[in-house]
Amino acid sequence: MDGLSHIFLHVGLCSAVARLAPNAPIAMHVQMRYVRGEPPYDKTLQLVRGEADELVVEFDIPWNVYHVVVSVPKYQCTSSSFAAVLADQNHSIAIKLSEQPPAAPPLVLFDGTAPASFVYMHPAYVLLPNGTACQAAVPTPLDSHFDIDYEQGAYYLALQADPALFASAPPVFAVQFLTPRGLAHYVRMPVKLPPYTGWPATIQFNITEDMIDELATEKTGVLLCPKIWGTSAG
């Protein structure tokens, strides 16, 4: 089927499973859920503990946004995460089993295609105070956390932040790129989020070589708002 993506699911072991002997059998349930409808992947896998501190599962699924739920019921270990999957792209997803309740879901998922030069510029992601103007000096970023995964030809990004940040005066999303001299370009990502419902918003933001090249002659330390940088929300 066209559009399938190959998933490498890296499952970190909880303490109860990590104490098992290397040849111990493990029944692990893996489910990839849509926001609505039947999950395209829902299996209980018969695995062996092995020598490593993680188990790796591989499978193919269509592009979409998924709620990943993994559990080892015998040892009361579980974990969940959200992941965006692009069509025809390999994607490694890391998840850590725990005896504790799952963490809060991310607020926003970003994904997109990107050239190799994108990674070489050491991109980082920030939230800036509402009202930060184009061409103005970049103020101290707001408190947030971004989980980043780079694949060949693509990237995946999850934002952990307080939903209250977006209730009245939403912050400005920006990407920080480092120059060879250690200075920073900041590029606005024009994002408008829907109301938060517990399922993360999804934003597609494709990066091209031309977009990277354009930064070479731009100012550093100010918020850049080039028109060719755009996003689409899902």
Query: pLDDT per residue over 183-214, tens digit each?
Result: 999 999 887 777 777 788 888 888 889 888 88
Contact indicator for 95, 70 with CB cutoff of 8 Å? yes
**Alpha carbon distance 229, 211 (integer Å):** 7
Contact indicator for 163, 196 with CB cutoff of 8 Å? yes
pTM for the whole structure: 0.67
Query: pLDDT per residue over 78-137, tens digit each?
Result: 999 899 888 888 889 999 999 987 777 788 888 888 998 888 888 999 999 999 999 999
Query: pLDDT per residue over 127-156, tens digit each?
Result: 999 999 999 999 999 888 888 888 888 898
- Alpha-helical (H) ranges within 47-203 are 116-120
For the chain, the structural domain boundaries read 4-96, 108-233
CATH class of the 4-96 domain in this structure: mainly beta
Inter-CA distances, 21 with 14, 18, 29, 148, 157, Å: 14, 8, 20, 33, 35
Residues belonging to the chain: 234
